[in-house]
Chain A
């Protein structure tokens, strides 16, 4: 008889999609932070 291993499958796919989503979110967050830093630094350079 085929065992019911559906929960393990769902756990596996939850890990896959969660980790990928966290990584993509980290890319977006780092991009935004760097853009903010860039604007501040450009303003500081203009004042110099």
Chain B
């Protein structure tokens, strides 16, 4: 396992620069929301993290399908990488949502359909990591992972659509919310720019981290293989 490819090195720097710009846009460019105050600025990275989290869970399900079709371990490495990164980003989305909820709704947590489905989604993939560790045989582990992420992936659209299907206090940004949804806000042009810039930045960070995690997975596979050779 050699030096990082040049493209990856460039993407490392680019994602760090874009993250710094996104943070500057949030703090110094996006206007103050008058009803909620500064806490509303959590929104930009909160949604971006949730987006990247869901994107990774879907990518893991696609990698699961690819593994079941080809039995190529590269798909298992991709699947594992996508789940791990998404767990981190989705955890950030849940925690920042809770921090935002306290001044906005007067509570850190409520068993609202969106919050509940998001918590279940996180638990499903946390269980995936724990259960994988209990399987020694790499092929059995990969097969289990593929089926699990495929079934687990069904909870992603449920979480995404929960604010549109059920009575909820969580605002919806895209599409029409349930008629009972509360707490939405209209975005001005600077807010939209900051939001979409953050969304793009976190998508790029996701790709960069995925690349790094895949390299780590390949190195781990190599070490595991060598271990078996030495022990024989």
The interface on chain B, measured as residues whose beta carbon lies within 8 A of the other chain's beta carbons, has a size of 39
Secondary structure dominating the interface of B: helix
Chain B residues whose CB sits within 8 angstroms of the CB of A4 once the complex forms: 37-38
Secondary structure dominating the interface of A: helix
Q: Which residues of A1-36 have CB atoms within 8 Å of chain B's CB atoms? A: 2-6, 8-9, 11-13, 15-16, 19-20, 23-24, 27, 30-31, 34-35
Supposing A5-B36, A5-B39 touch, asked if A38 and B99 sit within 8 A by C-beta, the answer is no
Question: Which residue of chain A lies nearest to B93 when distances are taken between CB atoms in the complex?
Answer: A16
Chain B residues whose CB sits within 8 angstroms of the CB of A3 once the complex forms: 36-37, 103
| Binding-face segment, B40-48, B55-63, B64-72 | B40-48
Supposing A3-B103, A45-B226 touch, asked if A15 and B32 sit within 8 A by C-beta, the answer is no
| Option from A11, A19, A42 in Cβ contact (under 8 Å) with B92 | A19
The interface on chain A, measured as residues whose beta carbon lies within 8 A of the other chain's beta carbons, has a size of 28
Chain A residues whose CB sits within 8 angstroms of the CB of B13 once the complex forms: none
Chain A residues whose CB sits within 8 angstroms of the CB of B34 once the complex forms: 2
A42 to chain B, nearest CB (A): 7
Asked whether B99 lies within 8 Å of A23 as measured between CB atoms, the reply is no
Asked whether A8 lies within 8 Å of B100 as measured between CB atoms, the reply is yes
Asked whether B103 lies within 8 Å of A8 as measured between CB atoms, the reply is yes
Asked whether B42 lies within 8 Å of A8 as measured between CB atoms, the reply is yes
The total number of A-B Cβ pairs within 8 Å is 92
Asked whether A5 lies within 8 Å of B37 as measured between CB atoms, the reply is yes
Bound together, the chains give a CA A31 to CA B99 distance in angstroms of 33
Chain B residues whose CB sits within 8 angstroms of the CB of A38 once the complex forms: 1, 219, 222-223, 226
B154 at the interface (CB under 8 A from A): no
Residues of B within 8 A of A (CB): 1, 23, 26, 32, 34-42, 45-46, 49, 85, 88, 91-92, 95-96, 99-100, 102-103, 209, 212-213, 215-216, 219-220, 222-223, 226-227, 229-230
25 contacts between A and B (CB under 8 A): A2-B37, A3-B37, A3-B103, A5-B36, A5-B38, A5-B103, A9-B39, A9-B40, A12-B100, A15-B95, A15-B99, A16-B45, A16-B92, A16-B96, A19-B92, A19-B95, A20-B92, A23-B85, A27-B213, A27-B216, A35-B1, A37-B223, A38-B219, A38-B223, A45-B230
